[in-house]
Amino acid sequence: QVQLVESGGGLVQVGDSLTLSCAASGRTFSNVAMGWFRQAPGKEREFVAGISWDSKRALYDDSVRSRFTISRENAKNMVYLQMNSLKPEDTAIYYCAGSRGLLPTFRKNQYNYWGQGTQVTVSS
């Protein structure tokens, strides 16, 4: 059974940092791109960041560029999202996703594996 399990979410203050982790099991994801999405209450799920299979390319939404960093460790089947300078508008459930292809994309329909999500709340 293929699983993506996110961890590392929590309640933080404005300006704090947080690192999310995604553990993949059931198959290897080392040969596909991975991504992070988020969904705030009452809003659609949106792309946050993506990384190519070989870590050579990363893609970020403009709202998180320069604050968030996506990385992966293929040997461990892990993906990470380092989040710095957190803002209240970053509050959402964050989802890890496995792509159909090699390169990162912001298109949700290109990701066919999803985790259950981890809550991130940024308090002012």
- CA dihedral (102, 108, 109, 112) in degrees, to 10, reads 60
Are the C-beta atoms of residues 50 and 104 closer than 8 Å to each other? yes
CA distances to 48, 75, 94, 124 from 37, in Å: 5, 23, 6, 22
State both tokens at 33: 């791109």
φ, ψ at 71 (rounded to 5°): -150, 170
Which pLDDT does position 27 carry in this prediction?
A: 85
Grade residue 26 by pLDDT with cuts at 50, 70 and 90.
confident
Grade residue 28 by pLDDT with cuts at 50, 70 and 90.
confident
State both tokens at 56: 């050579």
- Taking residues 73-96, report their average pLDDT: 97
State both tokens at 4: 């993506």
- Quick one: DSSP state of residue 1? -
pLDDT higher than threshold 90 for residue 90: yes
DSSP 13-27: ETT--EEEEEEEESS
- Taking residues 83-96, report their average pLDDT: 98
Are the C-beta atoms of residues 79 and 24 closer than 8 Å to each other? yes
Which pLDDT does position 41 carry in this prediction?
A: 93
Half-sphere exposure of 17 (CA within 13 A, CB side): 7
- CA dihedral (88, 6, 33, 12) in degrees, to 10, reads 20
